[in-house]
Each structure stands twice: as C-alpha cells, then as structure tokens.
Amino acid sequence: MKIFKFGGASVKDAASVKNVTNILQSEGTESTVVVISAMGKITNAFEEVIDAYYNKTDKLSEKLGVIEDFHKSLMSDLFDANDEIYKEIDILLGELSWFLARNTSQRYNYVYDQIICFGELLSTKIVSAYLTKIGVENNWFDVRNYVKTDSNYRDAKVNWELTQDIINAKLDASKLNITQGFIAANDTENTTTLGREGSDYTAGIFAYCLNAENVTIWKDVPGVLNADPRVFEDTTLLRQISYEEAIEMAFYGASVIHPKTLQPLERKEIPLLVRSFINPKEPGTRISKGSDLEPLIPCFIVKKDQILVSISALDFSFMVENNISYIFQKLHEYQLKVNLIQNSAISFSVCIDNKFKNFDAFYTDLKKEFKIEVQKGVDMFTVRHFDDKAIESIEEKGTSLLTQVNKETIQIVLATN
C-alpha cells in the first residue's frame, strides 16, 4: 500500500492534471491512496467567498463566479461538453449554494469549514473523472466518511481509534483510491478541517491506519531543501534526513512538511518521500529512522509577518509563574501560535503567528493587566546546525530585535530592511 499526496500546485491547470495522471500510471495504480488538495490558489478564492459571505458584502456572487469559471474552464480542456463530470460539479456547487442560503450559524470557524471543503471535493471529482476518461479505474470517496475528529473547527483533532476502524472496514486497499486532504467530519457529520496545509497530515493518517509501505508528497521542488528557494538564492537538496530532524524543521516552520504529518509515520517507521512532480524520475528526499541522517549543513527556516510582543507588569514587578501562566492562558484562548519565548526578570517576550486574526482582541484584553509593547510585521529566522557564516547571512537582512540560541538552533527575530 502506497500513499500519494498532491498539493494545489500539482493540479493548478489541465496540463498539471494530465501530469498527475501520468505519474500515477508510471508509479503503478494498484493498492494506492491518492490525497489531493484544492486546485491552484482555489483555497484562497474560497476564503474570499467566506469573507464576503460572513461580512455580508455585495461581492459574494462575484467570488463564487470566479470559482465556478476556474473549474469549468479547466474542465473544458479535459472533457467533452456532455461528459457526466459537469453534472457532478454542478451538484457540488448547488450544495454550496444551499449551505449559503440556509446557514444560520454565526460561528466563523464553523462557517469556514463548511465552505472551504468544496475546494478539495471539486478537485478530486475532476481528477477522478479524468482518470476514468483515459481508462484508469479508480475509486473516488469522500474522506469525511473516513477521517473522524472532534468539533474544534479549523484545527480539529483526529479520533484515531474510530478513524482506523472505519478505514480498515470500508476501504478497498487493492484499488487506486482518490480522496481529499485537509478535511474531515465530526460525530454530527459536520465538516471539520485539520489546519491549513493539512493534506499532508491526511496522507499520514491513511498511512498509519493502513500500515502503508511509504508516503510520497509530490512538490514543485526537488525535495526537502536546506532553505526556501523563494527566500534564499543558494539551496541544497537534503537527500535523506531522520524523522527527528524533519520534525524539528517542521516545528520551526519549514513549509515543505506539515508539522503533524511526521508523528504518525514515525510511530510505525513508515518512510516519507518528498519528490518533484516536475521531475518525477528523481528520487527526492527520504525521511526515515536513523540518528545518522542529520544534515551536515545549516538549514534555514523563515516565518514572515510575525508579531513580536513584550509584556511586563504595570508596577514593574517580577514576571513570575502566575503572570506567565495567565499570559499563556490568554494566548491559548485567542488561538495565537507561539513560535519563540524569552523572559527576563521584568518582561516576557513572545513571537507569535496571528493565523486566526485574533491578536487585536488579545491585546485589548491583556493591556488591562500589563504593559505591552508590540512590533508587527517582523520576520523570524531559524537556523538548524548554524555556523558563524549562517548567522551573518541572516543578520544582513535587517535589524535584530531578539536572538535565542541553543546547541543546535539559533532563532533571530528581525525587522527587515
């Protein structure tokens, strides 16, 4: 059993869909689960629909039209005008319209998950239909009937026991199976999501439950690089790394791997392969067990548009356990992801990711009890296996606001030039 995951860039247009089908035919289509994301930038387009709907703007119809036009234009290059897939896509778009017309919930995260899921449903229907059209037998299924979670919308936690029971009972593991990443369902059959970029995690879930031979994530890069090529000019392909190193890199924000993906794979020692859908014959990167697989060069990770917050008591008293505990409670309450912590006698600094746009409410709440200094729009650079040259290359990019060093890793928060 093999698990493949194709992201949005790999199915961004008709030529890309054909490339995916060529890869599947080349790799073999038996005993394979293929997890596919929404096409291209369609998740972003659906977020615009959500904002227009939730904020009751007059742009909703226009935003919906962009999504429909994109998919049907792509389909016109793959199918005949009377093919059945057009009816299936119209049914899905009709279900979306029905939800928009009938929903009464004011909970943003709930609304988000019920709408955003259509990106994955549309893309997998199209890929599955094209495979069928060219004679590749496959089984499309709705992942929400297999992966079950709690009701923590936008960041749901998997019910592993129930999910494994369902997958083992219902999935025909001998076939080529096409399904969605990122989405799941709770015990009331409402859609949940596993966090942005969660399609990698979906692949990990199926691999764990099916005791897969391996998982392959197909990317538009040669494999896991020591730095993001969009930020750094010179990068090096890491041919093999350990689970531990990959988890460290993912924790610090390496975008090529979702942080949750590796944990279920490591538990069953299932290798993770990161390969290029542009050059599918290349071996890419292998992530597996082994303490001798750490890279021997510095690895750079950057998280942009962070918020650096320095918090101190109004009376300049020490920042002790009860202060810090209260602050963490508020960070959790407002869903603010902490990427770096540093404290002194009278101040506590955190670099945070405002993923859910709750920072302003957090600030308003906390300033009643503390003095707060804020610097928005900073970048946080993490260097694994750093050396002096690596540190110098980061510090040249801006003004250092905060630095934290341990044996293997340095983190520098910069106000960039």
pLDDT, tens digit, for every residue of 152-194?
999 999 999 999 999 999 999 999 999 999 999 999 999 999 9
pLDDT class of 291 with cuts at 50, 70, 90: low
Q: Is the pLDDT of residue 359 over 70?
A: yes
Mean pLDDT to the nearest integer, 30-53: 97
How far is it, in rounded angstroms, from Cα 371 to Cα 314?
5
The string over 67-97, giving b where at least 16 C-beta atoms fall within 10 Å of a residue's C-beta and e elsewhere, is: beebbeebbeebbeeeeebbebbeeebeebe
CATH class of domain segment(s) 299-416: alpha beta
Question: pLDDT for 210-253, tens place per residue?
Answer: 999 999 999 999 999 999 888 888 899 999 999 988 988 888 88
Cα dihedral 320/346/303/240 (nearest 10): -60
Q: Answer yes or no: is 120 a known binding residue.
A: yes
Around Cβ 267, how many Cβ atoms within 10 Å?
11
pLDDT class of 317 with cuts at 50, 70, 90: confident
How far is it, in rounded angstroms, from Cα 76 to Cα 61?
22
Q: Is the pLDDT of residue 330 over 70?
A: yes
Are 260 and 194 in contact by the 8 Å Cβ rule? The answer is yes
Q: Answer yes or no: is 43 a known binding residue.
A: yes
CATH no. for 2-212: 3.40.1160.10
Q: Is the pLDDT of residue 393 over 90?
A: yes
Please, what is the average pLDDT of the chain?
A: 94
Q: Answer yes or no: is 124 a known binding residue.
A: no
pLDDT class of 121 with cuts at 50, 70, 90: very high
DSSP 83-96: -THHHHHHHHHHHH
- The owner of tokens 């219902």 is 170
pLDDT class of 319 with cuts at 50, 70, 90: confident
How far is it, in rounded angstroms, from Cα 131 to Cα 85?
12
Tokens of 119: 């990106």
Contacts of 362 (CB under 8 A, 6+ apart): 330, 331, 333, 334, 336
Are 8 and 219 in contact by the 8 Å Cβ rule? The answer is no
Tokens of 25: 């035919």
Mean pLDDT to the nearest integer, 132-149: 98
Q: Answer yes or no: is 28 a known binding residue.
A: no
Q: Answer yes or no: is 7 a known binding residue.
A: yes
How many Cα atoms sit within 13 Å of 36 on the Cβ side? 31
Ranges in the chain annotated CATH 3.40.1160.10: 2-212
Question: pLDDT for 363-387, tens place per residue?
Answer: 999 999 999 999 999 999 999 999 9
Q: Answer yes or no: is 284 a known binding residue.
A: no
Q: Is the pLDDT of residue 256 over 90?
A: no
Q: What is the DSSP letter of 113?
A: H
Are 271 and 288 in contact by the 8 Å Cβ rule? The answer is yes
Mean pLDDT to the nearest integer, 122-147: 98
Are 202 and 163 in contact by the 8 Å Cβ rule? The answer is no
- The owner of tokens 């890199």 is 249
Ranges in the chain annotated CATH 3.30.2130.10: 299-416
Q: By 3-state DSSP, what share of the chain in percent is helix, strand and coil, each rounded to 5?
A: 40, 25, 35
Around Cβ 321, how many Cβ atoms within 10 Å?
8
pLDDT class of 293 with cuts at 50, 70, 90: confident
Taking each helix axis as running N to C, give the angle between helix 60-76 and helix 42-54, from 0 to 180 degrees, rounded to the nearest 10: 160
pLDDT class of 195 with cuts at 50, 70, 90: confident
Are 133 and 125 in contact by the 8 Å Cβ rule? The answer is no
Tokens of 10: 């790999």
What is the model's pLDDT at position 204? 97
pLDDT class of 290 with cuts at 50, 70, 90: confident
Q: Which residues pair with 286 in a beta bridge?
A: 240, 273
Q: Answer yes or no: is 300 a known binding residue.
A: no
SS3 of 199-265: the string is: HHHHHHHHHHHHCCCEEEEEECCCCCECCCCCCCCCCCECCEEEHHHHHHHHHHCCCCCCCCCHHHH
Mean pLDDT to the nearest integer, 330-340: 94
* Beta-strand relationship, 347-353 and 337-343: antiparallel
Tokens of 304: 């942009």
Mean pLDDT to the nearest integer, 46-65: 96
Tokens of 127: 């890929």
Q: Is the pLDDT of residue 89 over 70?
A: yes
- Structural Rg of the chain based on CA atoms: 23
Mean pLDDT to the nearest integer, 334-350: 92
pTM: 0.88
CA angle at residue 160 from 158 to 166, to 5 degrees? Answer: 105
How far is it, in rounded angstroms, from Cα 48 to Cα 46?
5
What is the model's pLDDT at position 417? 65
Q: Sign (positive/negative) of CA torsion 350, 235, 263, 142?
A: positive
Tokens of 410: 């340095």
